[in-house]
Amino acid sequence: MILSVKDLTVSFATDGGVVRAVEGVSFSIDKGEILAIVGESGSGKSVTAQTILGLTRAPNATITGSVEFDGRDLTQLDDEALREVRGKRIAMIFQDPMTSLNPVYRVGEQIVEMIRAHEKVSKKEARDSAVELLRSVGIPNPERRVHDYPHEFSGGMRQRVMIAMALALDPDVLIADEPTTALDVTVQAQILRLLDKLNRERGLAVVLITHDLGVVAEVADRVAVMYAGQIVEDATLDDLFYDPQHPYTWGLLGSLARLDQPRPIRLAQIAGSPPSLLNPPTGCRFAARCPHEFDKCSEPPPLHGDRCWLDPTDKRRLRDVDGHIGLRKDVAS
Amino acid sequence: MLRFAVRRLIGMAAVLFAISVIVFLIFNVIPNSDPAQRIAGKNANPALIARVRADLGLDQSIVTQYLTMMKRIFTGTLTSYASSQNVGEQIWKGLPATLSLCIGAAVLWMALAVVFGYLSAVHAGKFTDRTLTILALVGISVPVFWLAAILLYYLSFKAQIFPTSSYVPLTKNPGQWAYHLVLPWITLAVLFVGFYSRVLRSNMLDVMNEDYVRTARAKGISERQIRIKHVLRNSMIPIITLFGLDFGAVVGGGAILTETVFNINGVGLYAGQAIGSLDLPPLMGVTMFGAFFIVLFNTVVDVLYAFLDPRIRLGEAAPA
Amino acid sequence: MTGSVGEIEAPGIPPVPAGVAPDAVRGRSPWYLAWVRLRRNRVALGFGVLFIAIVLVCLAAPLWADHVAHTGPDANHITDKVLVDGQEEYVVSPDGTPIGPGLHGRYLLGADQNGRDVMVRLLYGGRTSIFIGVAAALVTTVLAVLVGLLCGYYRGWIDAILSRIMDVVWAFPVLLLGIALGTTLALGGLKIGGLAISGDSVWIPIMIIGLVYVPYMARPIRGEILALREKEFVEAAVAQGKGPIRIMVSELLPNVISTIIVFFTLNIANNMLLESSLSFLGAGVRPPSASWGTMIADGYQNIYTAPHLTIVPGAMIVLTVLSLNVFGDGLRDALDPRAKIRLEH
């Protein structure tokens, strides 16, 4: 396992109180793997991703737990040491490529800046590398386009630029925070294929943050599902789709529009909304919305593949809704 | 680009025209006093007044008077009613002093504002920031002429550190030139340092929250480089444009108070004197000069902004 | 702009980080949150109280004049004598030097070259200056909101014309415009229709100062309204059949109230500074009425012999304007911690 997150907890002191954005999150990723972290807005997935690189460090933030990489705990590193990891060993790309690139600098300059921050190379060498990088992510005419400004690229191209920049120093891990969310569906597919190719060709480990199960199905090897700041299920791709263990996952799967089923009158939804992270519930955080909740749920379930007190045989029964996996609205006995 | 420039020029001309009309109207239509009477003096008899009026062409229609005055402005023959000095010449003579004052103060205020604003933003919430913010707020709360008077009193009169007498031209003696201008520079700069350092601080704090700063950090760029290359650079763009506007306004008439108190023979002082005697030609001349400068700098600023922000320079984004 | 003088919270950090569920701060209206933030900014509140205190003290001018100083603001005592440490001295010595501050009750801050009690004049002058500042701010606000709403809502030729007018006023060198209007109107007064305002009236400077700052306030408001106008709730209101005035008043206006409040406060500060400048140059308040600006102008004649005449009224201006600026700043932070509200200078 090249990157191991253990029991990561991140909370922020704010005007309204202490927000417990991430609670006891643990997962790991191996060389050459693609791990998808799935969750809705507010589930804490972005905060988790950013915390790996120490981007959430702030006076009002409290971070406990560990992020083990290359034999060191990244949460304990000072800024100087962390700086050497960022970009060079672990790289990150973000959701909105328009706002994630500085509008007043040319794209080539921004890539060169990154290269020269870590390696002693001349500007010319760095610029040549930048051109090659743009080529490797599929940007046509890179010699010319390296002199362009971010707004002169389309959204998909911009994201490729971000990926090129992230790969400049051949990192071991790429964290991609919702890289396709801001893009058109057709462009999404292209970006995912690119990520897949990079993963296969270079053995690049990818932590892919997304809220879209379709994206997950496309490229992931393993999946971690997050809800209300916690990981509620951690499984391989096949296990997640065919043998999911947590009611929330059932709800997610059940709400997908499926081509192999008759069209429902209404798309299934999970009733209710996520709990406040200012005062999260002490037991299972999904209990309030779970039709299968029972008395043990008031104790916080530990994570052993999934956070649910139900035993496996019951799960198999309860998750079956009219022949496919879903979350019943009515309470089963 | 050319069409843009032409349109701006036409806009400039229109604004200047409107201003000239307004100034003219203010002095001819509103007051109940008769310029001829004022010039002829308190004890003049009607015959004298009538003659003054005829001499100055004040017996003609308003429109004719306006056109005559405009013609005189463009041909450089505008003369004061009160002193028969050529207005254009007087303005030209006062220009070096005014520019010395304004440019010097501008350099000072920009340098200090950038330093203070940067420090404030970087140490936001801490002691340095609080102190600088208080200083900045005091700076924008002080009446310029009062500050001038206080500085004159304490640093010139009492402590004798700086001279009390007026302007020394650069060409005559650079050392004395600067020496005499130190207090006026400080006076004029204080207000702007206060304002600009706070705007810069505010801009920097906003930019620090931008996504591209987060990206830069994720790339492993050092904090210092982020602050200067990304935060400061992007924060300065609105500052530069504001600066253009303010500099135009200061040269165009904002320096009048400082020049009056420090007895600097610039355009502002000339304007002040003209106002005292309600002398229309110099007032018209100075106002047009001032407005021209302001409008000119407005345009320069717009062009500069387009230049500094590539998004505007190159036209907006391609589709996503 | 986060973290003004009194704020403890670290700036650069959003109060609620991205990705946190909206639940986290549900149920608190923006006004309540603003109030909480303002309450915590003790420095801003302190200066707000200071401003109110200054206003109250100035309003109490007649009380001071009658009961402590026993003299009015315009009463000359140039030949009077007064008791200083048991010795009888001239209020204004034969060479023209008036007594300085330090006495009790009468002449607490000394006298000016006409023998007038500085403290009394200060208080009365304060009334004038503050009144002009606030009244002019009202004028500016009303006009600016009107212009901003009309331009932003109707756009098209209304916007074109009003914006051109704003451009002309904006391009006018502020002081020169103020002085030009001030001196000419002071001579003849103003007659519009049946309304006649004397040249000496304090309404002349109020109107001039009010007018001069309209573009500064109208532009940002116009910008906000233009942006708001594109939003769906305006479309919805139009679809519901609401007339333009109702939309402007009940949909658009409430969204710019915070901007207006902040600008109004800071505008009073600017107005007081402008009034003092105009009065100093003789184009503002007319003698014998006092304002802090005219007092400085008077005192400036004798700055070397009687510096207190210049220092004192100026210090009052600084204190009052500073209070408004600090409080206005705190208000801006409370109403919009990541404010895009900026007073274009």
pLDDT, position B295 = 83
- Give this complex's ipTM: 0.84
Rounded mean pLDDT, A83-93: 92
Q: Which of chain A's residues have a Cβ under 8 Å away from the Cβ of B122?
A: none
Contact A39, A45 (CB under 8 A): yes
Domain annotation covers residue B57: no
Residue B69 lies in a domain: no
Cα–Cα distance measured from residue C108 to residue C117, given in angstroms and rounded to the nearest whole number? 8
pLDDT digits (tens, 9 = 90+) for A155-173: 889 999 999 999 999 999 9
Check CB contact under 8 Å for A275 and C23. Answer: yes
**Higher model confidence: residue B36 or residue B261?**
B261
User: B25-39, B105-119, B237-251, C104-118: which has the highest mean pLDDT?
Assistant: B105-119
Instruction: Give the bridge partners for A176, in sequence order.
Output: A93, A208
From the candidates C13, C176, C191, C324, which should be mutated to test the interface with B, based on the most B CB atoms within 10 A? C176
* pLDDT surpasses 90 at C334: no
pLDDT at B196: 93
Q: B15-65: per-residue pLDDT in tens? A: 888 888 887 777 776 655 566 666 655 566 777 777 667 666 666 777 777
Q: So what's the pLDDT on residue B132? A: 92
Query: pLDDT-based confidence at C133, cuts 50/70/90?
Result: very high
Q: Note whether residue B308 is domain-resident.
A: no
pLDDT tens digits, one per residue of C148-169 = 999 888 888 888 888 888 888 8
What CATH number has the domain bearing residue B164? Answer: 1.10.3720.10
Q: What is the dihedral of CA A281, A287, A288, A292, to 10 degrees?
A: -170
Q: Report whether pLDDT(B251) > 50.
A: yes
CA-angle at A264, arms to A258 and A265, nearest 5°: 150
pTM: 0.82
**Smallest CA–CA distance from B261 into chain C, residue:** C300
- Between A47-61, B250-264, B305-319, C39-53, the lowest mean confidence (pLDDT) is in B305-319
- Answer whether A153 sits within 8 Å of B234, measured CB to CB: no
Q: What is the mean pLDDT of residues C113-142?
A: 89
Provide the pLDDT confidence category of residue C303 given band limits of 50, 70 and 90.
Answer: confident
pLDDT at C7: 34
Q: State how many domains chain B has.
A: 1
Structural domain range at position B152? 94-278
Among A255-264, B205-214, C31-40, the range of highest mean pLDDT: B205-214
Inter-chain Cβ pairs, chain A and chain B, closer than 8 A: 93
Are residues A23 and A9 in contact, defined by beta-carbon separation less than 8 angstroms?
yes
**pLDDT confidence of C74, banded at 50, 70, 90?**
confident
C198-224 as b/e, with b when 16 or more CB fall inside 10 Å?
Answer: ebebbbbbbbbbbbbbbbbbbbbbbbb
Q: Band of the pLDDT at B261, cuts 50, 70, 90? A: confident
Of the listed ranges A208-222, B129-143, C84-98, the least confidently predicted one is C84-98
B63-92: average pLDDT: 77
C140 falls in which pLDDT band (50, 70, 90)?
A: very high
For residues C10 and C273, the model is more confident at C273
CA B22 to chain A, closest CA, distance in angstroms equals 42
Q: What is the pLDDT of residue B32?
A: 53
DSSP string, B271-295: HHHHHHTT-HHHHHHHHHHHHHHHH
Does an H or E element contain C240, and which?
Answer: none
Min distance B243 CA to chain A CA atoms (Å):
20
Lowest mean pLDDT among B33-47, B165-179, C222-236: B33-47
Partner residue opposite C171 with nearest CB, options B19, B143, B209: B19
Select from A19, A47, A59 the Cβ nearest to the Cβ of C24.
A19
CB of A85 within 8 Å of any CB in chain B? Answer: yes
C112 contacts chain B (CB < 8 A): no
Query: Is pLDDT at A98 greater than 60 in this prediction?
Result: yes
Cβ contact (<8 Å) for C9 and A21? no
Residue B317 falls inside a structural domain: no
The string of pLDDT tens digits covering residues B282-299 is 877 888 888 888 888 888
Dump the DSSP string for B102-128: HHHHHHHHHHHHHHHHHHHHHTTTSHH
pLDDT band at B300 (very low <50, low <70, confident <90, very high): confident
Contact C185 B130 (CB under 8 A): no
Q: Which chains touch A (3 or more CB pairs under 8 A)?
A: B, C
- Whether the per-residue pLDDT at C18 is higher than 60: the answer is no
Which among B129, B205, B212, B311 is the top mutation candidate for probing chain A, defined by the most A β-carbons within 10 Å of its own β-carbon?
Answer: B212
Highest-pLDDT range among B18-32, B58-72, B78-92, B123-137: B123-137
Work out the pLDDT band at C141, boundaries 50, 70, 90.
very high
Q: For residues C112 and C98, is the Cβ–Cβ distance under 8 A?
A: yes
The answer to the question of residue B48 being in a domain is: no
Average pLDDT score, chain B: 81
Q: Is B155 part of any domain?
A: yes
Partnered with residue A29 across adjacent β-strands are A3
Residue A327 clears pLDDT 80, i.e. is over it: no
Residue ranges of C 160-219 with Cβ closer than 8 A to chain B: 164, 167-168, 171-176, 179-181, 183-185, 187-190
- Can you say whether the dihedral through the CA atoms of A198, A204, A209, A210 is positive or negative? positive
Does the beta-carbon distance from C19 to A46 stay under 8 Å?
yes
Closest Cα of chain B to A228: distance in Å? 24
- When mean pLDDT is compared across A69-83, A182-196, A295-309, C119-133, the lowest value belongs to A295-309
Q: Which residue has the higher pLDDT, C156 or A112?
A: A112
In the stretch 211-270 of chain C, residues with CB closer than 8 A to chain B read: 269
CB A37 within 8 A of CB A240: no
pLDDT value for B289: 85
